[in-house]
Amino acid sequence: MAEIEISRSGAVLEMTLNRPAKKNALTSDMYRALIAGLVEAESDATIGAVLVRGAGGVFTAGNDIADFARAAQSGEELSAVAFVRKIAGFSKPIVAAVEGLAIGVGVTMLLHCDLIYVAPDARFSLPFVNLGLLPEAGSSLLLPRRVGMVRASAWLLLAESFDAEEALAAGLVNAIVTNETLVEFARGKAAALTAKPRAALLRARQFLRGDREEILACIEVELEAFREALKTPQAQAALAAFLNKSK
């Protein structure tokens, strides 16, 4: 079974993170499949919106650390980087349905989604600093704009986790929906987007998203700092400890 399932529901392309045994932790192959899904959605004029969700009651535990460490040590361009660039520059609306854990990139990718619906058990965490690493995906720019500097500092600097209620109160997500109805509810919202006049919708979204070049520039600055942080003893020790713990 594919670890990223791509399917169609009317004019909505659905991307399901489907690695529940590993809490949908993202590997290089999964990132490449997500990119392929976004490319398909962007090139197909019959697709008006994308829905992203996780299988097994979990959104994603973030990067698969073992896979990430191997890719980083090899010196190859990380597939995660290509995915972040793609989702940040994506031109059509993205709806997210979040259950259970959303960690690291599982949170930062939401900043590039337009509508976010979460289950009551959703739990969010941005543990970059704890790993000796730095925020990514434009989160240092976009998160304070979305939720304010006070909450962004607690979430990014202290790496404090937060629940669905706090995410809603902060303005990070649109609504809390029961686990049983979450996916269908999010599908309905994505379908509603596809029923709007396309040109007006895309232009309005462009206005709302702001300066794309500013966001992409921030991503590149963060990326360079992230790469440098990966080389530090603190990050190397944190990754090694995580890998040893997971054995």
In a domain, 194, yes or no: no
Q: What are phi and psi of 4, to 5 degrees?
A: -125, 115
What domain count does the chain have? 1
In the prediction, which pLDDT does 236 show? 79
Distances from the Cα of 226 to the Cαs of 48, 64, 69, 141, 221, in angstroms? 34, 17, 13, 15, 9
In a domain, 132, yes or no: yes
Which residue range forms the structural domain that includes residue 84? 4-181
Strand partners, 26: 63
We report the CATH number of the domain holding residue 149 as 3.90.226.10
**What three-state secondary structure class fits 190?**
helix
* 32-46, 67-81, 177-191, range with the lowest pLDDT: 67-81
Phi-psi region of 138 (alpha: psi -120 to 50; beta: other; left: phi over 0): left
pLDDT tens digits, residue range 40-49? 999 999 999 9
Task: For residue 238, give both structure tokens.
Answer: 């944190």
CB 101 within 8 A of CB 60: yes
In a domain? residue 61: yes
pTM score, two decimals?
A: 0.93
Residue 13 lies in a domain: yes
